[in-house]
Structure 1
Amino acid sequence: MTSKTIFDTKTNCWQETHANFATPLIDCANYYRALHSSICKAEKEIIIIGWDIDSRIRLLHGEDEEQSEAPSRIGELIKWKAEQNPDLKIYLLRWDSSFAFFDQREMWALEVWQDKTPDNVKALLDDSIPMGGSQHQKVVLIDNEVLFSGGMDVALHRWDTRDHKIEESERDGPDGEYGPLHDVQIVSCGPLVNHFAELARWRWDRIAQAPMPTAETTESDNELPATWPEGVEPCFTNVDCAIARTIPEMEDVEPVQEVCHMLLDVIGSAEEFIYIENQFATREEIAKALNKRLKECPKLNVMIVSSYDPKGLFESEAYWASRIAFKDIIEDGIDDGRAMMTYSSIRDRQGKMAYKRIHSKVMAVDDKYLIIGSANLSNRSMSLDTEVDLILHGNNEENRDCIRLIRNDLLAEHSGRTVEDVATLIDSDTPVQALMDGQLAHGYVLTEIDDNEFTDPSQENVFRSISDPEKPLGPPIPSLNGKLTWITNPRRRTIMIALGLTILSVLVGILLYISNTVSWLDGDQITAFLEESRGTYFALPTVLLVYLVGGLLFFPVTVLSLAVAAIFGPIWGPVYGMLGALLSAGVTFVIGKLLGNAGLRKLGGPKVEAVDAKLKESGIVGVATIRMLPIAPFSLVNLVAGISSITLVQFLIGTFFGMFPQMIAKGLVGDSIMQIFKSPSKETVTYLVIGLAFWVAMIFGSQKLAKLYQAKKQQKKKDESEECIA
């Protein structure tokens, strides 16, 4: 190292190292654009570790997306890159998230990558974290020479530009448009990359069946590597740095709390100005360190930028309630105006208002240290989650200028000023107060936080114990060797199976309850009800009503068809039955469509997508084939078809062609049964035998036709493939 630092590998950091070049990427549009560029340049290896890796996310927007030859969505980009270069190895490691984040995550994240990418793409879900914790490190390594790290994931509700417009059509998600969001990542190269690669491989090897091969060590030089992102100018050059981690106690892993110790030591070195922007601020140990240093250094000022409006009850009661105490601790015994916790918001000339959501994890201490990482100032980030922070040291005048520039640039964005104006204000005798005074209307401004308008201060509550715990939620259990180990979060697959079984049990219970308690829901009652309508104007409406209600309650359509044929005869019975079946099929199809749009399609995952594609491809013939074969209950087929992409018209036409021959057969059988009861004779018995034979023949014949049709389609595809090759 070129100058003395507070870095200590025994207490506050894992590695002391060096970066040849580094620069922050402020806000997600800039990060995603840089990430896209580096991925496109990769030749050997891509490693992505994250809280989330969502295949649907667009990395490019606007002109960048229109002019790019490579796909914009990261799932398509990874697939395209892997197909282009089969020798390229791609590793994706995402947290196997808890139930609390199901609405924010791809439901079948692992299957998406496994089913839609080549074999040189490996994906894993990390479920090794103790219960209540999360895998929160965000790291991307390109060819073991370029590193992206910080607070940003490739996830929903992250993308935004530095303008942070009140309304932005590109800032959208599955649940609609979201508000302005601010985040910070850093891209770097040099010897530090090898240490992050070691961390990534350690994470991978702990849960993978086969270890990740060791990559070549990056050579240290003073040139930008080939995979450095286009259009990104380095700020730091030859900068000393340290890597600090949080790792909870896990099986065969000792706990690490370097992040917390580093923050405390960095705060303890402050003399003039501490700038912090962070998603959460609840760790009282950090607040006490800030208060202590403010009292020790009368010239020290502290400015904190965080979010304003809490998202939901858990965030309000776990983080905002605790932030009240955090703020009170910092300000205790300190002169007004020396320490300020703020949020950034904007109100335009039309009165529209927006609050900037802060997701970044940044701390700048004087011009000596700049921290950009994944750790929030929360209990869980200091002890329970996995975190990694990069700490850069102002080891020369140029790098100290970079720390000041980045700090001033961030404050300029939040307060609607220029970087030069911020620099002047910070150099004043009362920098915090100067930053708060004289802000211009109709742009972004900083306002002091008052969380009492959202909640009451609380030392401990159930929300905090669940959302911001210091220790795992589950108790430790003894392993085979006698050592106590923490229970991990339930796997996503386990949760999905349990959820599916619960829903299925509830539905079955409801249907059983109805069938056992509703007196008219049996064959005899339905037959009697239909019998009363025979010969009246209400015959057809009655049949339609019975089919409709029966379909909603999963009543067997065969029983209904036989009953209708028995009552209305071999001619009108099949006609009425066909109309009733089409009505029931259409209604339950629409219900399936609504359920699919509400989330069942997402719940089904890529396997259902594959079946859906085949059903859509086969169209009317495919539906007719399914109707001919007694492979699933009538109403269940309707619901599943509704969830698929086939149209209602195709479905009804296919249903007609598949069921009408059966209706004729059932008409013969049903009418024969009725005639046998009324006046048994050889003729009526003969009709019954013929009807049953015709029905069985229809089943076997439809199976034969389906197999022939499928074989013909496969042969056609084979012939087309051979023509293409020729």
Structure 2
Amino acid sequence: MSSMNSIFREGENCWVTSQVAHAAPLIDGADYYRALHSSIVKAKHSIFIVGWDIDSRIRLLHGEEEANAEAPSVISDLLKWKAEQNPDIKIYLLRWDSSLAFFAQREMWAKEVWEEKTPDNVTTELDDTIPMGGSQHQKVALIDDEVVFSGGMDVSTNRWDTRDHPVESEDRDGPDGTYTPLHDVQMVSSGPVVKEFSKLVRWRWVRVSEHEPIDIRADANTDINADTPDTWPDGVDSWMKKCDCALARTIPLMDDAEPVQEVRNMLLDLISQAEHVIYIENQFTSRVEIAEALNKRLHECPTLHVIVVSSYEPKGKFECEAFWAGRIDFKNALEKDIDPERVIMTYSSIEDIKGRKAYKRIHSKVMSIDDKYLVIGSSNISNRSMTLDTELDTILFGNNEHNRKAIARVRDDLLAEHTGRDVESTAKLMQEDNPAQAIMQGQIAHGYVLTEVRDEVFTDQSGKNFFKALSDPEEPLIPAIEVASEKLPPLRNPRRRTVMILLGVLVLAAFGGAIWYASHAIPWLNAENINDFLEKSRGTYFALPTVLMVYVVGGFLFFPVTVLSLAVAAIFGPIWGPIYGMLGALLSSASMFGIGMLLGNAGLRKVGGPKVEALDNKLKSTGIVGVAAIRMLPIAPFSLVNLVAGISSITLWQFLTGTFLGMFPPMIAKGLVGDSITQIFRNPSPQTIGYLVGGIVLWGLMIWGSQKFAKWYQARKEKAKSEECVA
């Protein structure tokens, strides 16, 4: 460390102390993703990505940058490209396992998806070791053990945005459509501190994986006096050089880890050092202990001012009653007996010249203490981030004039973005006697402005204790217990795979129970009654509508289509029976296909995972012929095939055409069989028995022929595809 003394104390308010040779903030998603893409392209030895989420669908580049890039933009395509380009490189992806609470946002079958999309030198693991109610919240990308990205950003949905944060943007596109402006901060570093990140990500990896990671590179460029290493991202200038730093963690009690609250201790210690201005921007501010520490320092130091930037509006009831209700308590504790002009808690919003409004969502986790310290990390100012989640913050110390100016510049740059100003004018405002009021005055119309929060419009706090216990707890939902004077680790979050299997069993059990109940509770739901019902319509104008209704209702109740077809043929004969049956089967197919589409759009396609995606691809590649082959082969219930087809992306026209081609020939055979059965009962003769035997043989031959044709067609398609690839 330098001759200037920092407050860093290893084992108390930080894990390790170190130095960065070079460091720079990456403000907002576009800048971070661009830099990450650049470093991944340059990687030669190893890539580690540890995150709350790692979504395979994310585009790192947009627009012209994407069009002109030498490597793919989508993260899964990029890592596949890198792994195939350099078979010796090792790529490790470690993502939090529990994702059911974020079903709409996250890939349900993340491990399987990544394994499907990438070669063997890309290894994916899901971390399920966090206590129940907690999350894996550290966000780190390590390239070749010489460049590290850390902070508040994951490679996840609804994160990408540019620094100007337009009111509307087609590029801000997530699973639920376009999203509102989003602000975040990551940092990129090189130098001795990277060695510590290398140890951390490997420790995280070996806890959950049977695969040993690659050793830390002995020849990595981590010297404090070195220039930026080869994998430093293009277009990123170094802001801080030879800067002292520390890494602070939150780690809950786990099987092989004692609890650590370095982040909490660090923030309390940093606040005690402030003299002029504390700047905070954070997704959540609900930890009243931090507010009380700020209030105490404001009383001790009359020249101190506090500026807090967070989001305007909560997402959902849990966020509202846990974090926004908690922010009311935070604000009250912060401002208690303090001149209100010394403290502002704000959000950033815009109303453009067209009258369109937007509220910037703050996802960053940043704090600056004058020009002495800068925190860029993953920790929210919440109860869970101080005790229950895994967190990691980097704290930079202004050990010389250059680095102190850089710390102030980061703060001024962020405030300039939030208030629609340039950095130079913002820097002047921050030097005034009351920077909190100076920054709020004279903001430019039609640009982004800061406005003081009024959270009472969202909640009366009546439900905060219940929601806080679930969404912002200090302890696991099921805490550790002591047995024979030994404290056992708390229960983990349930594995995603386990929960999904249980949900699948429950759904199947409920469906089976409903079918069983219907078959016993609905008197007419049997073959004999359906025959009687159809028999009464024969020879009337209601014959066809009756058949169509029976097929549709039978489809919804998963009644066997073969039984219906034989019944219709027996009643309406070998000509009209197959015609009526085919029309009924098509209408039933279309109805169940529509239900499948609705279920797929509601998320069932995501729950199905890569296996359903593979089946979907086969359906699309074989098209009408594939559907026809499936229809001829008795491999799955009629209604189930209709549902699955609706969930897939094959078109209704293709599906119905394939259904007709696949079902009509067997329908004719069933017509002969059904009519022959009727004739046998009416006139048992060698001729009617011969028709029955002939119909059954024809039916069997069609099934056998369809199998042969399907195999031949599939082999032909694969051969043509391989010849095309060779060409």
TM-score band, normalised by shorter chain: over 0.9
Q: What residue is the counterpart of 1:631 in the other structure?
A: 635
Alignment of 1:26-425 (within 5 A): 26-217=27-218, 218=220, 219-220=222-223, 221-425=225-429
> Offset at 1:585?
1.7
Q: What residue is the counterpart of 1:512 in the other structure?
A: 516
CA distance in 2, matches of 1:480, 1:641: 57
Q: Structure 1 residues 717 and 355, CA, compared in 2 at 3 Å: closer, same or farther?
A: closer
- 2:458 is aligned with 1:454: yes
CA distance in 1, matches of 2:281, 2:384: 17
CA distance in 2, matches of 1:709, 1:425: 73
CA distance in 1, matches of 2:178, 2:360: 14
CA distance in 1, matches of 2:721, 2:155: 38
Does the 8 Å CA contact 2:55/2:157 hold for their aligned counterparts?
yes
Q: What residue is the counterpart of 2:601 in the other structure?
A: 597
- In structure 1, the residue corresponding to 2:314 is in which secondary structure? coil
Normalization by structure 2: what TM-score? Answer: 0.96
Does the 8 Å CA contact 1:384/1:469 hold for their aligned counterparts?
yes
RMSD (Å) for aligned C-alpha atoms: 1.9
Match of 1:545 among 543, 546, 549: 549
Residue type at the aligned position of 1:331:
E
Does the 8 Å CA contact 1:98/1:489 hold for their aligned counterparts?
no
CA distance in 2, matches of 1:528, 1:229: 76
Q: Structure 1 residues 147 and 280, CA, compared in 2 at 3 Å: closer, same or farther?
A: same
Match of 2:657 among 650, 653, 656: 653
CA distance in 1, matches of 2:484, 2:62: 53
Residue type at the aligned position of 2:202:
R
Task: Give a deviation string over 1:362-384, Cα, whole Å, max 9, x none.
Answer: 11001110000000000000000
Residue type at the aligned position of 2:162:
T
Q: What residue is the counterpart of 1:684 in the other structure?
A: 688
CA distance in 1, matches of 2:424, 2:720: 70
Q: Which runs of 5+ in 1 are unaligned?
A: none
- 2:558 is aligned with 1:554: yes
Q: What residue is the counterpart of 1:641 in the other structure?
A: 645
Deviates more, 1:518-527 or 1:466-475: 518-527
Task: Give a deviation string over 1:537-567, Cα, whole Å, max 9, x none.
Answer: 3222222222122112211111111111111
- In structure 2, the residue corresponding to 1:186 is in which secondary structure? strand
> Offset at 1:715?
5.7
CA distance in 2, matches of 1:659, 1:480: 68
Deviates more, 1:703-712 or 1:227-236: 703-712
Q: Structure 1 residues 609 and 222, CA, compared in 2 at 3 Å: closer, same or farther?
A: same
> Offset at 1:16?
0.6
> Offset at 1:686?
3.2
Residue type at the aligned position of 1:41:
K
CA distance in 1, matches of 2:484, 2:115: 33
Residue type at the aligned position of 2:423:
V
CA distance in 1, matches of 2:133, 2:100: 11
Match of 1:496 among 489, 496, 500: 500
CA distance in 2, matches of 1:702, 1:222: 69
- In structure 1, the residue corresponding to 2:340 is in which secondary structure? coil
- In structure 1, the residue corresponding to 2:23 is in which secondary structure? strand
Does the 8 Å CA contact 2:537/2:546 hold for their aligned counterparts?
yes
Does the 8 Å CA contact 1:98/1:490 hold for their aligned counterparts?
no
> Offset at 1:473?
0.3
CA distance in 1, matches of 2:142, 2:528: 70
CA distance in 2, matches of 1:463, 1:368: 37
> Offset at 1:572?
1.7
CA distance in 1, matches of 2:238, 2:463: 44
- In structure 1, the residue corresponding to 2:498 is in which secondary structure? helix
> Offset at 1:14?
0.6
Q: Structure 1 residues 586 and 459, CA, compared in 2 at 3 Å: closer, same or farther?
A: closer
Deviates more, 1:98-107 or 1:183-192: 98-107
Q: Structure 1 residues 184 and 718, CA, compared in 2 at 3 Å: closer, same or farther?
A: closer
> Offset at 1:514?
2.5
> Offset at 1:177?
1.2
Q: Structure 1 residues 459 and 402, CA, compared in 2 at 3 Å: closer, same or farther?
A: farther
Task: Give a deviation string over 1:100-146, Cα, whole Å, max 9, x none.
Answer: 11111012111111111011101111110000000000001111111
> Offset at 1:214?
1.4
> Offset at 1:621?
2.3
Deviates more, 1:201-210 or 1:441-450: 441-450
Deviates more, 1:710-719 or 1:187-196: 710-719
Does the 8 Å CA contact 2:325/2:464 hold for their aligned counterparts?
no
Say how many residue pairs are matched.
Answer: 723
- In structure 2, the residue corresponding to 1:103 is in which secondary structure? coil
- In structure 2, the residue corresponding to 1:693 is in which secondary structure? helix
- In structure 1, the residue corresponding to 2:546 is in which secondary structure? helix
> Offset at 1:658?
1.9
Identity %: 65
CA distance in 1, matches of 2:481, 2:646: 46
Residue type at the aligned position of 1:111:
E
Does the 8 Å CA contact 1:305/1:343 hold for their aligned counterparts?
yes
> Offset at 1:645?
2.8
Does the 8 Å CA contact 2:480/2:487 hold for their aligned counterparts?
no
- In structure 2, the residue corresponding to 1:104 is in which secondary structure? coil
- In structure 2, the residue corresponding to 1:615 is in which secondary structure? helix
CA distance in 1, matches of 2:719, 2:178: 47
Q: What residue is the counterpart of 1:486 in the other structure?
A: 490
CA distance in 2, matches of 1:433, 1:15: 37
Q: Structure 1 residues 706 and 167, CA, compared in 2 at 3 Å: closer, same or farther?
A: closer
- 2:25 is aligned with 1:21: no
